[in-house]
């Protein structure tokens, strides 16, 4: 089914010059409630946040285009990593519209620099400064959103024990416009995210779509100061199913290529995802057992999980009453 362009996910403004972003103020509590409700209803929202400047954003897409257009394929292919979905995938061809690169722990300058040295052996300080800056700022935005969710569930007093320690995986993407004559083409197959949460920043060429009801796909369009916050499977499990992990995909149409970056919150090695006991009660019986984040992440990219529809993988892995998997065979998206 095609995407319905009229629907809009909640747009939540984080005003940097108001007291709303100061924890404990009335504005903070109101914002936190809207954030939580958006996550519960849609599993995502659009956040308008001028704390990440237009210049940083423009510079990000300028250096990303340089990477995609100027670096030879043999160097791009040096972006490898033992963990799945952490390295180069691509390149774009006439019919395969996706090209992506990964930088693990991108808020550490050294990680960005190591990546840049593989792509440009002579070094590229401007690339490093730009990607490091935006990754750090997106990480701060992510932490603020998590804190809002935690406060909104009344867990603020014990936030240190419920806040998960994490590092940001940065992925940088190009989606090619579909070939002439095609109405649309698949940029990225439908999935729910395996990291805890994701923040997406794009160059205003649309393509990202979310599934709102069974098979009703909504195209999201961003604005110059906005980002998309996407709930991943582990956050849904942590919340005892109160928050939704949204199914999403990228569909390309028109004649413009799309560039986007995504920062994924990856808990540090050994992290166990545990539902806080405050989120479990008679109306909300416990749905998931405690699980090791990395075990789930690796499972989701395993052969065994390939036939399980993406949003069902977390249930297959960690639900206290696992679903009957025969009913959850994936429709292979191609």
Ligand X SMILES: O=C(O)CCC(=O)C(=O)O
Residues of this chain that bind ligand X (CB under 6 A): 171, 173, 188, 193, 200, 202, 208, 248, 250, 260, 262
Is the Cβ of residue 155 or residue 212 nearer to ligand X in the bound state?
212
Check residue 233 for interaction with Fe ion (CB under 5 A). Answer: no
Contacts of 153 (CB under 8 A, 6+ apart): 36, 239, 276, 278, 279
Cis-peptide into 63, omega within 30 deg: no
- Interface with Fe ion includes 309 (CB under 5 A)? no
Q: Cα–Cα distance between 5 and 254 in angstroms, integer?
A: 14
- Give min distance, CB of 219 to ligand X, in A: 11
- In angstroms, give the least distance from the CB of 183 to ligand X: 20
Of Fe ion, ligand X, none, which one does residue 171 interact with (CB within 5 to 8 Å by kind)? ligand X
Query: Which residue's CB is nearer to ligand X, number 185 or number 279?
Result: 185
Helix (H/G/I), strand (E/B), else coil: 53: coil
Least spacing, CB of residue 73 vs ligand X, in Å: 21
Question: Closest distance between ligand X and the C-beta of residue 83, in Å?
Answer: 14
Q: Which does 273 bind (CB under 5 to 8 A by kind): ligand X, Fe ion, none?
A: none
CA atoms of 20 and 36, how far apart (whole Å): 15
> Segment 139-168, which members bind Fe ion (CB under 5 A)?
none
From the number of C-beta atoms within 10 Å of its C-beta (0-12, 13-18, 19+), residue 313 rates as: buried
For residue 85, what are its two tokens?
A: 């979905």
Quick check: 193 binds Fe ion (CB under 5 A)? yes
Q: Which residue has the tokens 């929202």?
A: 45
Minimum CB separation of residue 192 from ligand X in Å reads 9
The DSSP string of 168-200 is EEEEEEEEPPPPTT-SEEEEEEEE--SSSEEEE
Nearer to ligand X, 152 or 176 (CB): 176
Q: Which two tokens stand for residue 298?
A: 């690796």
**Residue 200 near which of Fe ion, ligand X, none (CB within 5-8 Å, type-dependent):** ligand X
Applying CB under 5 A, the span of 36-44, 56-64, 185-193, 221-229 interacting with Fe ion comes to: 185-193
- CA distances (Å), 160 to each of 147, 155, 164, 170, in order? 10, 10, 8, 25
Quote the tokens at residue 180: 């002439």
Closest approach, Cβ 270 to ligand X, in A, equals: 24
Find the length of the chain.
334
176 binds, among ligand X, Fe ion, none (CB under 5 to 8 A by kind): none
Does the footprint of Fe ion cover residue 209 (CB under 5 A)? no
Tell me which of ligand X, Fe ion, none is bound by residue 3, counting a contact when its beta carbon lies within the kind-specific cut-off of 5 to 8 angstroms. Answer: none
Measured between alpha carbons, how far is 40 from 9 in angstroms, rounded to an integer? Answer: 12
Token pair belonging to 136: 């750090």
Partner touching 188 among Fe ion, ligand X, none, CB below 5 to 8 Å by kind: ligand X
Choice between 208 and 314, CB closer to ligand X = 208
Return the one option of ligand X, Fe ion, none that residue 250 interacts with (CB less than 5 to 8 A, by type): ligand X
List residues near Fe ion by CB under 5 A: 193
């Amino acid at each position: 089914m095609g995407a319905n362009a009229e629907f809009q996910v909640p747009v939540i403004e984080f005003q940097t010059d108001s007291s709303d972003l100061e924890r404990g103020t009335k504005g903070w509590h109101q914002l936190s409630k809207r954030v939580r409700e958006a996550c519960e209803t849609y599993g995502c929202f659009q956040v308008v946040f001028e704390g990440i400047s237009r210049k940083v954003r423009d510079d990000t897409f300028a250096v990303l285009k340089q990477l995609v257009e100027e670096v030879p394929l043999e160097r791009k292919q040096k972006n490898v990593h033992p963990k799945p979905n952490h390295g180069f995938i691509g390149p774009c061809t006439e019919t395969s519209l996706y090209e992506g690169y990964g930088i693990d722990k991108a808020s550490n300058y050294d990680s960005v620099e190591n990546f840049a040295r593989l792509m440009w052996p002579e070094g590229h300080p401007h690339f490093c400064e730009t990607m490091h800056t935006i990754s750090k700022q997106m990480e701060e935005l992510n932490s603020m959103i998590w804190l809002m969710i935690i406060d909104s569930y009344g867990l603020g007093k014990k936030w240190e024990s419920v806040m998960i320690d994490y590092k940001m995986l940065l992925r940088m993407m190009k989606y090619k416009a579909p070939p002439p004559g095609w109405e649309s083409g698949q940029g990225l197959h439908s999935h729910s995210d395996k990291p805890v949460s994701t923040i997406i920043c794009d160059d205003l060429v649309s393509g990202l779509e979310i599934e709102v009801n069974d098979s009703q796909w909504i195209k999201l369009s961003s604005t110059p100061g906005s980002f998309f916050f996407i709930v991943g499977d582990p956050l849904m499990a942590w919340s005892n199913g109160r928050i939704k992990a949204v199914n999403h995909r990228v569909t390309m149409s028109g004649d413009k290529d799309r560039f986007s970056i995504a920062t994924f919150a990856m808990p540090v090695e050994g992290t166990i995802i545990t539902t806080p006991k405050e989120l479990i009660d008679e109306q909300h019986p416990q749905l998931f057992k405690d699980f090791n984040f990395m075990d789930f992440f690796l499972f989701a990219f395993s052969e065994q999980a390939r036939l399980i529809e993406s949003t069902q993988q977390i249930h297959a892995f960690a639900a206290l009453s696992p679903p009957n998997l025969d009913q959850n065979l994936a429709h292979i998206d191609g």
